[in-house]
Amino acid sequence: MRVSASTFLLAMAISAPAFAQDAPPSGECTGDSNEPACGAPEQSGGGGGGCGCGGGSILVAFTDQGDSYQYADDFDDDGMEDNADNCPFDFNPDQLDGDGDGFGDACDFCPAAAAPQEGGVRIQRDTDGDGQGDECDDDSDGDGVANAADNCPLVINPSQTDTDGDGLGDACDTDDDNDGCLDAVDNCPLVADALNCTETLAVIPDECFADEDADGIADSLDNCPGTPNEGQSDADGDGIGDACDQDLDNDGIDNSIDNCAQLPNVDQADEDKDRIGDACDPQLCFVIDGDAAGCLDPVAPFAVKASIQDARLTAINTGDDVLLHIFANRENKAIRYTWLVTEQPAGGNASIAQPQGGVSFSNSIQYVYENDRRALFSAKVPGTYTVELLAELAFADEQGYDVRSAKSTVVIAVGGPVLSDGCTQTGAQPWLGAGLAGLGLAWRRRRR
C-alpha cells in the first residue's frame, strides 16, 4: 500500500501510587516502578513513546485508503487494547467485572465489593499490601487489630494508644492531647496545654518526657514509643523504627511473610523454593518437598531426589497409582534410572510399573518421562513403604566431578482396605544392570 502522508508515533503516560489504582485502568505507561513495563508493541524499527519505559505507542499510517494501525497496544495479549481493557496487565479476554466498578475480576483487589469513588473516580486501595483491598479487608492496615475495633484503621498502631481518649488513635490523630494545638507545632503533643503553641518546638517542657518503653527517649520523639530502641534505627526511613516496623524494607509485604524482610523484593521470587527470596539468597539450591537440608545444589557433585506425585498428598489409598518423580541437580542430561521397593509391611507385595528406563529432558530440575514410560507405584496392603531411586549419568559430568551415580529414597504411607492379591511385580530390579542395554534408548544430548 502506498503511504501518502507521514507516520506518527502516539504515546501517553499516567502514574499511580503504590497499592492504589484508578478506574478505568490504562495500559499505557504507568511510570510506576512497581508496575510492569507499559504495553509497547514490538513494532518494526524499534523505538517507542517517550515515556521512559520503552514505549506504550501505536503506529498509525495515514494512507490514500484511510488510516491504518500497524500494531495494536495490548500488553497482556488478551485481544483487548489497553485503553479499553479493564485489566491491561492481566490476561482476561472475558473482561468479567462482577462488582461493576471498572476493575476486571482478574485484577480487582475486591472482586465482590465495588471500589469507592474519590473525586468522581473509582480508586481501589490496599493499605497493607496484602493483595486484599481495603473495602473487603477486615484489617486494612495489617496491624493485627480488626477495623471494627481499630482506632486508626488505615494506620499501623497495634498499641492502640489514644492519649486524649477521643476515639482516634495517636497514630492518626493530628492533636494527640486535644489541647487545640496541632501536634506539628505542639512542643508537648502528649500533654494538654494550649500555651505549648506559644513556645518554640526546640524548647520541650519536662512534663513532656513520658517514656513508656524506658529506653531513654521521650515518647514524643521515639520512633517506637512502645518498644525499647535506643539506637532509633529506621533502615527504610519511613519514620517507624526497625524495632516495631512490620515492614522493614518498605516493599509492602509484612515481615512475617516476606522472604527477604530486609531487602525490597515485591515479586517475592524464589527460584529454588527454599523460602529465601532470590534477592537475598546467598546460594541457589533447589528444595524438593520442603526438605531444605537436602536441597539440590547445581554446582555440587551429581545428586538426585525421589518424590511422589504431589508432596501435598496426605493420604494414598491402596490400589492407587502414584507417579514417582525424578529431580536432579543437572538439567537436560541423559540419566538412567531404576526404582526399587526396599521396605514394605508384611504381605505388602507393592509394584512399580516400568521401574527402569532413561530420561534426558527436564523442566528446570524436574525430569520428564519419555514415550509415556512413567514409573507408577501401587500397593494393595496398607502401611509404610520405602521406595529407592537409583540414577546414573549416561555421560561424563560436564561439571568435572567423577561422581556419576546417586540414589534417594521416598517414604510412602498407604491407607485403605487390603485389596485382593493378584499377579503383581515388585520394582526390585538389578541396579542399572545389563538389562538396560536392551532398552534401546536413544539418549539426546541437550545444551543447558
How would you classify the pairing of strands 351-353 and 3-11? Answer: unpaired
Contact 129, 156 (CB under 8 A): no
Q: What is the pLDDT of residue 351?
A: 94
| Domain 292-439 part of CATH 2.60.40.2410 | yes
Parallel/antiparallel/unpaired status of strands 316-317 and 405-415: parallel
The CA-based angle 97-101-102, given to 5 degrees, is: 70
What strands, in cross-sheet order, belong to the sheet with 366-368?
A: 304-307, 325-328, 366-368, 361-363
Length of the chain, in residues: 448
> What letters, b where the CB count within 10 A reaches 16 and e where it falls short, cover 185-208?
ebbbbbbbbeebeebeeeebeeeb
* Residue range(s) in the chain whose domain bears CATH number 2.60.40.2410: 292-439
Residue 66: the pLDDT is 57
Query: CA 380 to CA 317: how far, in whole Å?
Result: 9
Q: Are 108 and 101 in contact (CB under 8 A)?
A: yes
Instruction: Report residue 407 as a C-alpha cell.
Output: 540414589
Residue type, 296: L
pLDDT of 63: 54
3-state secondary structure the chain: CCEEEEEEEEECECCCCCCEEECCCCCCECCCCCCCCCCCCCCCCCCCCCCCCCCCEEEEEEECCEEEECCCCCCCCCCCCHHHCCCCCCCCCCCCCCCCCCCCCCCCCCCCCCCCEECCEEEEECCCCCCCCHHHCCCCCCCCCCHHHCCCCCCCCCCCCCCCCCCCCCCCCCCCCCCCCCHHHCCCCCCCCHHHHHCCCCCCCHHHCCCCCCCCCCCCCCCCCCCCCCCCCCCCCCCCCCCCCCCCCCCCCCCCCCCCCCCCCCCCCCCCCCCCCCCCCCCCCECCCCCHHHCECCCCCCCEEEECCCCCCCCEECCCCEECEEEECCCCCCEEEEEEEEECCCCCCCEEECCEEEECEEECCEEECCCCCCCEEECCCCEEEEEEEEEEECCCCCCCCCCCEEEEEEEEEEECCCCCCCCCCCCCCCCCCHHHHHHCCCCCCCCC
The pTM for the full model equals 0.46
Q: Which of 38, 24, 31 is nearest to 83 (CA)?
A: 24
* pLDDT means over runs of 10, the chain (448 residues): 35 39 52 46 42 44 53 77 88 90 90 84 86 88 92 91 91 90 82 72 66 79 88 90 92 93 92 90 88 89 88 74 94 96 93 95 92 90 95 95 95 89 43 39 39
Q: What is the pLDDT of residue 446?
A: 39
- Angstrom CA distances, 243 to 148, 225, 240, 251, 315, stand at 26, 10, 8, 17, 43
Side-chain-side CA neighbours of 167 within 13 Å: the count stands at: 2
Between CA 300 and CA 14 the distance in angstroms is 48
Rounded to whole angstroms, the Cα distance separating 443 from 395 reads 10
Q: For position 209, what pLDDT does the model report?
A: 67
User: What is the per-residue burial (b if ≥16 Cβ within 10 Å, else e) of 31-47?
Assistant: ebeebeebbbbebeeee
